[in-house]
Structure 1
Amino acid sequence: MAGALHQHQQELAQDQPAMAWWFLSLAFLGALYAAAFASRLLVSLTLLCLHPPKPKDLRCYGPWAVVTGPTSGIDRSVALELARRGLNLLLVEVANLQEISDAVRSRYAVKTAAVVSDLSLDVATPQGAEAARRLQDAVEALDVGVLVNNAGVVTPGAVFFHEADVEEWMRMIRVNLWGLTEVTAAVLPGMVRRGRGAVLNMGSASSEAIPSFPLYTIYTATKRYVAQFSSSLYAEYSKGIDVQCQAPFFVATTMVTGFSGIWRPSAFVPTPDAYARAAVPWIGLGRGGPLCVPNLSHRILWCLLAAVPGSIHDWVCLREHLRQRRSMFRKAASLR
């Protein structure tokens, strides 16, 4: 018995150097990761707090801005902020443009024009082709210096992929992906001819800062297209035309009404007006490339989430979105 105990103690003693080496290796890797994360966070905060970007006078690109989807949410607030900075607005939306046009003109001494266009229409159809022609004619008659592609669809959301009709997914793709591409194709040639312009495409942190966004699969996939589309245009038109993709986290719009209470207006969830005040000054600023996160609290959140393992991201997002799905079904049942 004593001999066996002595032998076991000897084996433990022999294993201790290996165990110590393994522990030190893990501790070193952990410290290295923590240092890298802390330095990235410190650099981001320094750039944003100590050296905030100096906004451009956006009129240097031209007197007109094209804004898609300007009737509500971030889109409306961005349109009003552009008008406050002296830009005339060409507003593109499927309907209800009179109200936003009146609101702009009543507050600011700028001009407005409107193109009623359903971006969910396929340009291969007669209706879609006619809408594209109206937009093209309107753009060619103006000196457009700024394009803001805001229009987007988030519904259906909080559903499994197989639960929605294919046409619902296709409508989302046509608005978020094809519509943005078509409007850019209408506006960009004029910018190229004049040798100046700025393009802002509204992306999402759900496709850039988070590994997956389950139950919003098509939405986040279309936003990933927006980011890649912007990056490629940024490289193609590196002189004279500034291309940017903004990737915000949650903003207190109707999109987040189904989410948990933590996504109500707060330090990390700005109102649309607050986001627009942060976002518009970043237009045309190429610091760090085409992708940017203008809101300071969103930038901090981006850095913090970078330290969270992907599996935890997946679990938290799926749990929250399943809660939304249950709430949505209960609400639908109560209306029957």
Structure 2
Amino acid sequence: MSTRTAVVTGASSGIGAATARRLAGAGYHVYAAARRADRIEALATEIGGTPVVCDVTDESSVTALAAAVGDRLDVLVNNAGGAFGSAPVAEADSDEWRRMYEVNVIGLMQVTRALLPALIASGAGTVLNVGSTAGRVAYEGGAGYTAAKHGTKVVNETLRLELFDQPVRVMEIAPGMVRTDEFALVRFDGDASKADAVYAGVAEPLVADDIADAITWMVTRPAHVSVDELVIRPKAQAAQHKVRRVFE
């Protein structure tokens, strides 16, 4: 039997890089896809995978990813995404909103569309989309991101309906508070003080490897088992707006 294969987008850091490592550890040959060539080349060397420079918002780049993968694929993890800005709707930046929709929704669609034939050809493919609790609950200052992640959730639900008679499972993991090196920094345009404030007083937020561990569990269930949605938060986060913070 040939080696199982997986594509992980947004694999240059955070949840994507951790997922690539976990899947490689579970026996998959991982195609690590992201825009930053140096990062994914180093990761691929570490895990014995294949680096593919890919911008999920660019159709020609996604076509090249599909060509690199070939005719058969077992697992697709649509992890590429991001939040940009935190302005209220009355002060929203149109370009930031477009960027969030492009990467979290259009990019996810383009990669899925390009790789579906290979997933179907595997006979037991899995699409796992990385959503967010922001795709379920609105909060002030987050309208652009929550709208985009609600889009991720609905695309996931629709795709499952459309593929009900195909040998492909469609899953979503929706993380809550996860502390990674870059997510909050990117959102706040490099402002470390704002990024740190997100996690201030939270002793144990989730980390990238917690999500990667859960993703690996989801995709390695028997082929007839579909974990349609998995919402995962740190114990300290009872809800989007209710987080236990302890300051000494």
Question: Partners of 1:152 and 1:181 in 2: how far apart?
Answer: 12
Question: Partners of 2:43 and 2:121 in 1: how far apart?
Answer: 32
Which of 11, 33, 40 is the equivalent residue of 1:100? Answer: 40
Which of 198, 201, 218 is the equivalent residue of 1:259? Answer: 198
* CA deviation string 1:157-180 (max 9, x = no partner): x21224343222111111111000
Cα contact 2:130–2:172 (8 A) shared by 1: yes
Return the TM-score normalized by structure 1. 0.60
1:240-279 equivalences under 5 Å are: 240-253=167-180, 254-256=182-184, 257=195, 258-263=197-202, 266=204, 269-279=205-215
Cα contact 1:146–1:199 (8 A) shared by 2: yes
| CA-CA distance at 1:287 after TM superposition | 6.4
- The amino acid across from 1:291 in the alignment is E
Cα contact 1:63–1:143 (8 A) shared by 2: no
Quick check: 1:148 aligned with 2:77? yes
| CA-CA distance at 1:193 after TM superposition | 3.2
Question: Partners of 1:237 and 1:284 in 2: how far apart?
Answer: 19
User: Counterpart of 1:292?
Assistant: 230
Instruction: Give 5+ residue unaligned stretches, structure 2.
Output: 185-194, 244-248
* CA deviation string 1:279-299 (max 9, x = no partner): 311225486851113x4xx28
Cα contact 1:69–1:75 (8 A) shared by 2: yes
Q: Secondary structure at the match of 1:259?
A: helix
Identity of aligned residues (%): 29
Cα contact 2:32–2:44 (8 A) shared by 1: no
Which of 69, 83, 101 is the equivalent residue of 2:24? Answer: 83
| CA-CA distance at 1:241 after TM superposition | 1.1
| CA-CA distance at 1:206 after TM superposition | 1.8
User: Counterpart of 1:10?
Assistant: none
Q: Secondary structure at the match of 2:169?
A: strand
Quick check: 1:191 aligned with 2:119? yes
Question: Partners of 1:272 and 1:151 in 2: how far apart?
Answer: 14
Quick check: 1:172 aligned with 2:100? yes
Coordinate RMSD, CA, aligned:
2.8
Which of the two has greater strand per residue? 2
Moved over 4 A (4+): 284-289, 299-302
Cα 1:80–1:101 change in 2 (3 A) is: farther
